[in-house]
Chain A
Amino acid sequence: MYQPGLFASYEAAPLPLHAPDGFFSLPVAVAGYVVSGAVVVLAARLAGRKLQERTVPLMGVMAAFVFAAQMLNFPVAGGTSGHLVGGALLAVLLGPWAAVLVMTAVVGLQALIFQDGGLVVLGVNVFNMGVLTTLGGYAAYRGVRLVIGGRRGLLVGGFAAAWLSVLASAVAAAFELYLSGTSPLAVALPAMAGVHALIGLAEGAITVAALSFILSVRRDLLGMPPARSGEAVSG
């Protein structure tokens, strides 16, 4: 089972949150394909109806940005790195369903072309990084927006969505590792949640920075009125 070549490649470029084949059992991998497949089909139907002229290029640009940003691993603590997932940012910008489609395309192409994340466990990786982060992140974002409005609500909601989405991904991965018989829950859960609670802070910071940038150059893309005084927002 041990493959020295695999370790050698870790030295060159670390495999991100994307799990390689072998981490999850076959039943968990199949369940991943079934659940993610169903969500993607639903997302395609719901997103298709809402796509406007402006949304499609925004999907393309954000997909390109998330892919590029995911290559930038930043050091976290104790010789560990993390990178942007981007699901929450996409959900705030594009709505949950288009965000599911974009994340699925990114994670799928990473596995197919860059051998980043296994092909057998692709359904599970799409669920963790593409479904949970977008739908969960969007729910968290809307929750914050109910309490805080305007520009501040958008940024606070974006940060909360980003942090929670990374934590949800990590907790889901811990459960999947446990169900696969790879690692006991008492071991995987605190370890995964602990590291990703830190990585999530960076996810939140990058998400807020990206949203602030878009607010300053094209606030209409975020559903904000062009006038600076306007506070009525539909995210």
Chain B
Amino acid sequence: MGKRWWIVGFLIALAVTLLSPLASKSPDGLERVAEDKGYLDKAKAAPYHLIADYVFPWVPNEAAATILAGIVGTVIVFGVVMGLGYWLQRTARRQARS
């Protein structure tokens, strides 16, 4: 991997989302404890739903909807963090100069 190593890394992240339909559907640790100890019903629903629970809306096939949600999320997260990183870098340099 040469200078464009980060493109390879990003492709690996996208490839990971292809596995998402295989993820365990069991409740996770926090949720399992909440269920066992009887406070799961305290959970409130979200005020709005965009791509709720990693299932892209309007896609009939659930595996495809999950992968699509994963790809959209991976791209957004990558873009937001890259933007944030370059902005911070620029701000710090400007402060160092002044």
B44 CB within 8 Å of chain A: yes
Asked if A79 and B13 make an inter-chain contact with CB atoms under 8 angstroms apart, the answer reads no
A71 to B77, CA, bound (A): 13
Among B16, B54, B88, the residue within 8 A (CB) of A47 is B88
Known: A23-B43, A56-B86, A105-B77. A13 touches B54 (CB 8 A): yes
Asked if B31 and A10 make an inter-chain contact with CB atoms under 8 angstroms apart, the answer reads yes
Stretch of A138-146, A153-161, A192-200 on the interface side: A192-200
A-B contact count (CB 8 A): 237
Asked if A17 and B9 make an inter-chain contact with CB atoms under 8 angstroms apart, the answer reads no
Kindly list chain B residues whose C-beta atoms are within 8 Å of the C-beta of A2.
Answer: 41
Chain A residue at smallest Cβ distance from B33: A191
Number of A residues with CB within 8 Å of any CB on chain B: 79
A31 to B1, CA, bound (A): 44
Known: A115-B52, A187-B37, A218-B1. A48 touches B89 (CB 8 A): yes
Other than the known A68-B14, A101-B84, A105-B77, what 11 A-B pairs have Cβ atoms closer than 8 Å?
A48-B92, A56-B85, A56-B86, A58-B6, A61-B9, A65-B12, A71-B23, A73-B26, A79-B26, A80-B32, A109-B80
Q: B residues engaging A (CB < 8 A)?
A: 1, 5-6, 9-10, 12-14, 16-17, 19-20, 22-34, 36-37, 39, 41-55, 62, 66, 69-70, 73-82, 84-86, 88-89, 91-92, 95-96
